[in-house]
Amino acid sequence: MVQSVYDHTNSRQVAQIVNQIVQAIDSATGSVNLTNSTTTTTVSNAKVTTSSRIFLQPRNSAAVTSGAFVSSISSGSFVITHASATTVRTFDYLIFAA
């Protein structure tokens, strides 16, 4: 859990809290290639809970036109539904705890 800054002039405390925030964000992000020749891809990440919000960002032009969306979220994973294709379609994702 990230602490609050109690003394903004204490550079050590500020640095410690900023580092905690960076670590929390880093483990809640990732990249995924959609599975070829199928219409779903499951992404496993321990940060995912049933109340998480998942945001996808296409990384290449094939991903933009894939019709991808998050179709289900469970503890430890989420499923992306998409069109079937044989091209590489890469997405970055961000997990927000709700």
Contacts of 61 (CB under 8 A, 6+ apart): none
The tens place of each residue's pLDDT in the chain, 98 residues long, gives 555 656 778 888 888 877 777 666 666 899 999 999 999 999 999 999 999 999 999 999 999 999 999 999 999 999 999 999 999 999 999 998 86
Domain ranges of the chain: 30-96
Q: What is the pTM of this model?
A: 0.76
3-state helix, strand, coil in the chain (%, to 5): 20, 35, 45
Using CA atoms in the order 8, 12, 14, 19, what is the torsion angle rounded to 10 degrees? 180
φ/ψ of 88, rounded to 5, equals -80, 120
